[in-house]
Structure 1
Amino acid sequence: MEHFLRGIPNPHMAKAKAITGELSQIKILILGNSHAANGIDPKYLSKKAYNLAQGAQTLDIDYSLLNKYKDDLSALEYVIVPISYHSLWFKLSELKYYRWMAKYNNIYFDIDIEHNPLKKFLLFDNVIKVKLKNLKQYYWENDLLLPDFKEGFFSAPPATDISALSESGESKAKDFSVNDLDALYSENLKHLKGIIDIANDKGAKVLFITIPCYPTYIDNLKKQQLSLMHQTMDNLENGKDVFYLDLLEDGRKLSLQDFANGDHLSHIGAEKFTMKLDSIIKDIENQSIATQQAIEN
């Protein structure tokens, strides 16, 4: 059963296979959670990019993936890491409803996230009855097929119900709010610094970015948690090879069709956002060129 379960396609399998043959060409590596997976479309970036973001992917996994591939990323110029409202306080292996996905990183990317050999079996995701149903759906009914990923990007359809969109934004903001601002904070800050260190060794820049969300999401965020997120990222930014861009409030300027739900962009919103991101990267490059010329003169 384990053998056949591993034959059923999933996003982790697809991205692990696809990125292998492209590592030496990638100039922009996009890490992060579903905000980036749905929000940054590599085809609108001027440089060769790959979106390695996944749903519920946390900073420990971002760091581990970059560390795994660092030697093969010979053309790397930028590492993009989305910093969401919850990023500094979440860890996939400790999330009640999503921690089952942590093993997908163990299996398909061969990074040991949970340090538990039993976490390398898909069979233990759920009860046997559910696994048998999955096998039937894929092997006999030709179901459970993946959408077509383009450079790792997952295209999300636009929302159509403004009421549901509003409710989704409010609900997600509450789900991502934490009571203990010390829990996992130091650990996640260590991962951010680790990402910066690897990028520095590669001669690459790090671009931390907060992606736009729907207004009802923004309006229901806890000020103290949001403030600590901003303070942390401002302290890491140096304006030279580490940058932080908070574009969360840009969500107020977007329309209904630009969102898939309260905290994710649709493919329409992703196009707009990625084009803006591309302009920002070009500005950073122009600034770097100007600085270098001033030094030489």
Structure 2
Amino acid sequence: MIPVIIGYAILENYTRNLPLSPKAKSAFYKKHQNNIEILILGASQNRDAINPEFLSQKALNLAYPDQDYYVSSKLLEQIGPTLTSLKTVIVPISYGHFETAPNQKETWKNSMYRHYFGATISEKFTYFKDNFLYISFPNYYSTKINSHRNGKNTVDCNEYGYNRDVSTSAFYKLKYDSLSIAKSPVPITPLQENPAFIPENIERLEAILNYCSQQNYKVILLETPTTVLFKQQRIPEVLHRKDSILSLIKSKYTIQHIDLDTNNDYSIKDRRDNNHLSTQGAKKFTKRLNKIIE
């Protein structure tokens, strides 16, 4: 077993030293913990659309791909109290949030957040999976290790942990050719109606809103830009239920709803794909958002 243990120790050490976005965000968090005024939660849409570099107030962007209201609520409850200057919390309310399957309560992300931010988002503790990065998701980190060793690293973070690299994005790979993009499939979530997921997702969103109310944090429910192609793929019933939930939330809580999905002046190069903004688009989007916040 000794060679096996040594092998995993080497992999774990290599993983912890990879130039990953969460590592950069952790460094920013530890350095500016007492000055951060904005906390950004949610999934990849918020991660890609909001570059804190262009906000007047210091902001920590903890949005991550496929991240639901459950994980966001856990992060807010544990990291929020450590941000002594926190004033504003940005939460997504996209087309598919309420009818997408909630995150598993035992997720590999737990080890990531435990290591970088000291936060626990799993309801059940597993020693090896939760205390070590590599073991928590070997396939994911093996890919990152191989890319780094082969000089194909796709991470170019600024001090806020925003990844400026777009080389893996769908539109970049299609060379921003509008005809090729129009012919390509449009990934959209959910692919079908899932009203059974709504109660749990609403419960977790309300947990976020209630916590913010108790702490006197201002809340922004944010909708980020999507393409016309994306909008055409939406299921009308899902969209209707989402809008109905939004109306109910707005009548029940003191929040600000900012819908920036109605802007059609983003170019192809402003986007990573039909549902995510590129570095160029994020600069434009974040500056707009900053004016509203100010």
Range of TM-score over shorter length = 0.7 to 0.9
2:103 alignment counterpart: 92
Q: Percent identity?
A: 24
Secondary structure at the aligned position of 1:115 is classed as coil
1:50 alignment counterpart: 60
Q: Which moved more, 1:196-205 or 1:155-164?
A: 155-164
Q: Which moved more, 1:211-220 or 1:113-122?
A: 113-122
The alpha-carbon distance between structure 1 residues 142 and 154, as it changes in their structure 2 partners (threshold 3 A), is: closer
1:292 alignment counterpart: none
2:266 alignment counterpart: 254
2:3 alignment counterpart: none
Contact 1:25 1:73 in 2 (8 A): yes
In the alignment, structure 2 segments of 5+ residues that lack a partner are: 1-7
Contact 2:21 2:162 in 1 (8 A): no
The alpha-carbon distance between structure 1 residues 206 and 127, as it changes in their structure 2 partners (threshold 3 A), is: closer
User: Out of 153, 176, 188, which is 2:190 matched to?
Assistant: 176
Determine whether 1:148 maps to 2:157: yes
Letter in 1 for 2:196: D
- Find the aligned partners of 2:94 and 2:75 in 1 and give their Cα distance: 18
- Find the aligned partners of 2:96 and 2:138 in 1 and give their Cα distance: 27
What per-residue deviation string (whole Å, max 9, x for no partner) do you get for residues 72-96 of structure 1? 22211110112222222233338xx
1:11 alignment counterpart: 21
What per-residue deviation string (whole Å, max 9, x for no partner) do you get for residues 218-270 of structure 1? 111011111111111221125984122222232x3322221121111112211
Give the number of equivalent residue pairs.
272
2:177 alignment counterpart: 161
Secondary structure at the aligned position of 1:93 is classed as coil
1:265 alignment counterpart: 277
- Find the aligned partners of 2:253 and 2:201 in 1 and give their Cα distance: 22
Divergent runs of 4+, >6 A? none
Contact 2:75 2:121 in 1 (8 A): no
Contact 1:259 1:265 in 2 (8 A): yes
Contact 1:93 1:114 in 2 (8 A): no
- Find the aligned partners of 1:178 and 1:16 in 2 and give their Cα distance: 36
1:289 alignment counterpart: none
* TM-score, structure 2 normalization: 0.80
What per-residue deviation string (whole Å, max 9, x for no partner) do you get for residues 4-39 of structure 1? 233334323332333133222111111111111110
Contact 1:30 1:79 in 2 (8 A): yes
2:5 alignment counterpart: none
2:137 alignment counterpart: 125
- Find the aligned partners of 2:139 and 2:206 in 1 and give their Cα distance: 39
- Find the aligned partners of 1:171 and 1:115 in 2 and give their Cα distance: 36
- Find the aligned partners of 2:74 and 2:136 in 1 and give their Cα distance: 23
Secondary structure at the aligned position of 2:104 is classed as helix
Computed over aligned residues only, the root mean square deviation of the Cα atoms, in angstroms, reads: 3.0
In the alignment, structure 1 segments of 5+ residues that lack a partner are: 283-297
